[in-house]
């Protein structure tokens, strides 16, 4: 057999939104995928419902009528092995905007998620000059610096961790504060609320 004709198995691409979920709790991705085919009302809490409603304008391409504003487009990076959607990219200004229902803290998961979107756009040939996180409920914009080499390295580490993670992984560290906020906590065998 000619080794040049042997192809390696296709790897599964990571969904960009799973980056934020993984940082929150690696186990939440399992439950999210498990319930992905069910009616969202069965498991989503009030904050998830509000988030879904706040994304409605982007999801339905009604955020802007400007042709230079791309809304909810699919993006992909072969280098990173990620796929997903962006909320808004203003091609005229070169601004990538990720919308969240309410931002109280600039969590690492938010940043890594938008960095993945940034690298996808670059690989697709777009020029990205600026990144913003937008908090819908209080109308606040957070200007995010373009990722450094160190931040790209961190993103690649997290993507590698996602690929390697197994639900039965004994090195999993529970954060009870995150568990209390997780919509899947009643399903998770790690959750034990002592309060």
CATH code of the domain containing 121: 3.90.320.10
pLDDT tens per residue across all 195 residues of the chain: 444 444 444 468 999 999 988 888 877 777 777 766 655 554 445 554 555 555 555 555 555 556 788 999 999 999 999 999 999 999 999 999 999 989 999 999 999 999 999 999 999 999 999 999 999 989 999 999 999 999 999 999 999 999 988 777 766 666 666 666 666 666 666 656 655
Instruction: Assess contact for 71 and 3: CB atoms under 8 A.
Output: no
Q: Is residue 146 part of a domain?
A: yes
Query: What are the distances in angstroms from CA 129 to CA 16, 87, 90, 93, 144?
Result: 20, 16, 10, 7, 11
Q: Is residue 53 part of a domain?
A: yes
The tally of domains found in the chain comes to 1
Q: Is residue 184 part of a domain?
A: no
Q: Is residue 171 part of a domain?
A: no
Q: Is residue 156 part of a domain?
A: yes
Q: Is residue 190 part of a domain?
A: no
The pair of three-digit structure tokens given for residue 180, joined into one six-digit string:
């209390």
Q: Is residue 88 part of a domain?
A: yes
Q: For residues 25-61, b (16+ Cβ closer than 10 Å) or e, as one string? A: bbbbbbbbeebeeeeeeebeeeeeeebeebbebbeee
Q: Which domain holds residue 51?
A: 10-165
Q: Tell me which residue of 61, 65, 63, 77 sits closest to 13, measured CA to CA.
A: 77
Q: Is residue 91 part of a domain?
A: yes
């Amino acid at each position: 057999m000619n080794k040049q004709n042997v192809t390696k198995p296709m790897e599964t691409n990571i969904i960009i939104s799973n980056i934020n979920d993984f940082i929150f709790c690696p186990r939440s991705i399992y439950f999210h995928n498990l319930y992905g085919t069910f009616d969202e009302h069965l498991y989503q809490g009030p904050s998830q419902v509000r988030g879904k409603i706040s994304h409605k304008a982007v999801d339905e391409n009604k955020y802007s009528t400007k042709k230079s504003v791309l809304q909810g487009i699919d993006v992909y990076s072969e280098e990173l092995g990620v796929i997903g959607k962006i909320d808004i990219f203003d091609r005229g200004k070169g601004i990538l905007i990720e919308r969240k229902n309410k931002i109280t803290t600039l969590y690492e998961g938010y940043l890594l998620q938008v960095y993945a979107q940034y690298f996808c756009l670059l690989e697709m040939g777009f020029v990205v000059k600026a990144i913003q996180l937008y908090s819908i409920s209080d109308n606040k914009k957070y200007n995010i610096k373009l990722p450094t080499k160190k931040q790209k390295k961190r993103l690649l580490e997290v993507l590698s961790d996602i690929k390697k993670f197994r639900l039965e992984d004994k090195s999993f560290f529970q954060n009870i504060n995150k568990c209390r906020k997780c919509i899947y906590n009643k399903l998770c065998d790690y959750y034990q609320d002592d309060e």
